[in-house]
Structure 1
Amino acid sequence: MEQLTCPHIIDRTGSDVHAEAAQIRANGPVSQIELPGGVLAWSIVGYEEAVQALADARFSKDPRQHWTAFRDGRIGQDFPLIGWALMDNMTTAYGADHSRLRRLTAKAFTTRRVEAMRPRVRAIIDGLLEELAAVEPGEVIDFKARYAHPFPSRVICELFGVPEERRAAMLRGGELNVDTTLTPEEVAANIEQWHTLMHQFVADKRREPGDDLTSDLLAAQEEDGSRLTDSELVGTLFLLLATGTEPVMNQLTNSVHVLLSHPEELARLRSGEITWSQVIEETLRMEAPVAHLPFRFPIEDVEVGGVVIPKGDPVLIGFAGIGRDPVKHGPTASEFDPTRSDKSHLSFGYGIYRCIGMPLAMLELELALPALFERFPGLELAVKSEEVEPQGTFIMNGRKELPVRLAGAAVQAA
């Protein structure tokens, strides 16, 4: 039985996001938490309660309109998560503004465009696997640094036309934005830097557009002639570059960690008894790549799970906890079981804020994971599973690094 502490004080280091989700759940599927800086908020870790909140139009993501303390000046620039309130994109818009931004963005992010990326995604995978094949047998490498991060970052940067020399700096802003251990001064410096970099990139694309999503976003307009403002475009790019890299990186890392920690399931996968689709969906459920996402704000008092969340209070959706909700998935909710019949998860969101990049993320996972294990059938952890350190943030659910051995020569690509 978890110890009741209400409000639960969030561990800003993210030392164990699943243990923390269980502690929050001990207070109920909807309960109060305390964020860094002493800011009170609400956490939703129940599956059905999250579905209700994510589908409820009375929950806004616009802090400028609907976060009472922020709007009234009671949340200062020294709040460690201030970057999540200052973004200007579809995830911080409400109502008609959100619909407009989502439609404009979706015009550039079509299924056709994603499917057209398939050959290039495969080529990026093949290139990375070739680099790994050059590693000396038995050498310990960081899977996250050598495969899980460069793969989605190359894909998303190519999609948006980000030159190779700018990629590290532009992606760094998103990486730091989910680091909940930063000081207020570090947060402010990161916001200023990425804002400058993004505006410079947009200005360059405006002068010299190309065959990429950034140029498409610049050209996209509504039937009434409205377009993305520069601020909205910068915010949208920041959002899509970050969400196109970090969650996929975490999901790749989590999937490999889980499989190498469950050799019996890996054997069943190799024998064909279970499929990659089952493994991917179960890992998305059990190890959601985003742990605790800020923010939503009720535009009036809203009852969720028997709890009334007051108008204007900040709300976080606890995806890591939702995937392991025992009310939804029973007493084995925290166990990895690719054969379970109900693998329902909300790892890509739900309702009008569902991730528009989900088709690309799924394509990446469906191609990158099988290719890795086919090329390196002897892949193994270089440390004990329990020694793998967490990412160090309560917003994301990933690993600081994943030490592995490729264990001998790679199987030659056909």
Structure 2
Amino acid sequence: MQRRRTGLVAVMSALGMTATLGGCGSSDGSADVTLELVAADYGDSKANSSQQYWDTLVKGYETAHPGVRVEVSVYPWTDVDRKVGERVAAGRAPDLAQIGAYADYAAKGELYSADQVLSIPVQADFASQLTEAGQMNRVQYGMPFAASTRLLFYNKKLFADAGLTPPQSWSELAADAAVLKARGVKFPYALPLGPEEAQAETMQWLLSGGDSYTDDVGTYHLDSTQNVDTLTWLKNELVGKGLTGPVAPAKLNRADAFAAFARGEVGMLNGHPTLMKAAADKGVKFGMVPMPGVDGRAKATMGVADWMMAFKHNGHREQIGSFLDYVYSEKNVLAFSHEYDLLPVTTSASQAMSADTKDKDLVPFLDELPTSQLYPVGKTSWASVSADIKRDIGKAVAPDGSPSGVLGTLQRTATIRDSKD
């Protein structure tokens, strides 16, 4: 999930909840199997690399299941999807992959469905909207692994010095940004529409304007009237009035915007949980509120999920199921979420997090999850459409840009790509 740095449930088989999947190694030790997992790295240094998380988890699993070995290869987000793709193309698919998208592999019949590998209690424990996002043709192939939502972060000192309160509508956000600009704040509102993660910032704004990338039946409608109105407002009321800072939105990446916030140079921006630590480490006092909508709080926020998928290639269905039941145990989901400031993907771990006072900083993000909307990841065309948005959406709010023109072009291309699904 770009993402970056930013959970999981007790061994269901050990609790006797899945007699079939729990029997991964026979009592005489004859069912020795090695599972291969390729996973993404959510850490930002060697000290908190995801490899350490997986090493600890695997050690616990192998101790309880002597008939199964698990080998985990961790790669940076810049490489992991490609690594899995290359292995699959070469006929060496791993048993499991924890990456950003599942749809291409599901469409080609290369994946087990979730109900083929998970015990019923584990599959039923996923948050409902994440389960739906993991489905293709109403069958779940993508198993959510990590999730996050977005809130509007604001610099408390800058707001207090200016006598401002957090905005609850677009007009209030623009008015606050104008005051911050007049006081010399470098980025009154940071609008990262650069190629790193423009599809995320765009979707958050489209949702706050009352629409999204697709309609209720999953058909692309990027150039809807509401979406055009949203980008037109951004172009005229924020970018055009110089309220988004000295870097053109098309050239501002999310990582750079986050770094600027941590330096105290940003008044407001959309952020996910990992920004909390980055800002706190630099001594920036910040607040978080739901994203404003046109006339009040937005009806939905953006959610992001990364995915676990199980490949059929090696035929290790039972062993994969037993391992995944362990991966999605409450203690393991929570351990991952705590390590990388991400949200649990299971109801049981979410309830535990909500009840733990040590997790109070994550609760506002957790509260947004039930009404969040995710990218249309069940469409095989989404990866290409997302790349188109990253490349072109910043042009829509440029001084000479045309929101209707850019969105219209994106819509025509998306329709063509979708027809090839």
TM-score (normalizing by structure 1):
0.28
More strand as a share of residues:
2
More helix as a share of residues:
1
TM-score (normalizing by structure 2):
0.28
